[in-house]
Structure 1
Amino acid sequence: MDRKREIEKRVESNVEYYVKKIVKVIAMVILAGALFFLANYVLMRLWNWLMPDLFGLATITFWQALGILVMAKIIFGFGGGGGKSKGGSHQRRKHRSNHKCSSLRRDFDEWKHYDQFWKEEGEEAFKAYVAKIKNENHENS
């Protein structure tokens, strides 16, 4: 008797699990459809609000907006990207960006001496440079 109840509970939990999955899938399909039709409606409203006034185009219906949306998706792509191939291109971009400014990065190590230079010579050199520019501007006037 216990064996039979255990099997019944297992079957019941499996059925409950699959029913929940099916309900979730149906809910997702309905939500995706609703979002698609909402996006289409927003496209239609934006078109009818902007295009006639800006460009003198005619207003469109819901189904014409759907056609424009589908045509735009066909022309410009669906935006999903490429899964695994995307990771490869990311690696190439990362490699390229690491070596893009290598000549500038080599010189960057020299900047650690900037503060010491400014304390020893920089301020005096800057004052001399400003005085030289003032004299040149005064002579040109």
Structure 2
Amino acid sequence: MNHKFRSKRKFFFLVPIVILFGLTFVVMWLWNAILPEIIYVKTITYWQAMGILVLSKILFGGFSKCGNNSYGTRKRQFINKIKNMSPEERTKFKEAWKCRFYNRNDC
């Protein structure tokens, strides 16, 4: 039974690598099939496509841990903050947000 777990662990280690190489091929194929005809750019190699993927991950996705969703964490903290407010504080908070986002002059 322990051998099955080891083989599954090796499999899950290889899955992200296979996905990376497959996605790199898709990016290269799409770039070379579409962009040279539309905007007259040069075709790219496999490694250049991988560089584009890594660069886009750095610029747009970062390198956070898998499953670490900072937006979800901030949302939970915000909801807890609202729940812990008294009714008066809550109405005051809502009015402040209305003034901030709806550009109301009566605030």
TM-score (norm 2): 0.61
Q: Deviations over 1:35-74 (max 9, x none)?
A: 1111000000111112111111000111111111111111
Hey, what's the Cα distance between the residues in 1 that align with 2:62 and 2:6?
A: 27
Gaps of 5+ in 1: 1-15, 102-141
Give yes or no for the alignment of 1:91 onto 2:93: no
- Report how far residue 93 of structure 1 moved: 5.3
The residue that corresponds to 1:36 in the other structure is 20
- 1:66–1:84 distance in 2 versus 1, CA, 3 Å: closer
Amino acid paired to 1:42: V
Runs of 4+ in 1 over 6 A off after TM superposition: none
- Asked which structure has the greater RCO (Cα within 8 Å, sep 6+), the reply is 2
- Report how far residue 85 of structure 1 moved: 4.8
Hey, what's the Cα distance between the residues in 2 that align with 1:42 and 1:52?
A: 16
Of the structure 1 ranges 23-32 and 37-46, higher mean CA displacement relative to structure 2 is found in 23-32
Q: Percent identity?
A: 32
1:37-52 residue pairs with structure 2 within 5 A? 37-52=21-36
Bigger fraction of residues in helix: 1
Please tell me whether Structure 1 or Structure 2 has the larger radius of gyration of its CA atoms: 1
Give yes or no for the alignment of 1:74 onto 2:58: yes
Amino acid paired to 1:40: T
Alignment size in residue pairs = 84
Gaps of 5+ in 2: 83-93, 99-107
- Report how far residue 23 of structure 1 moved: 0.6
Q: Deviations over 1:72-108 (max 9, x none)?
A: 111212475773754441135554xxx467xxxxxxx
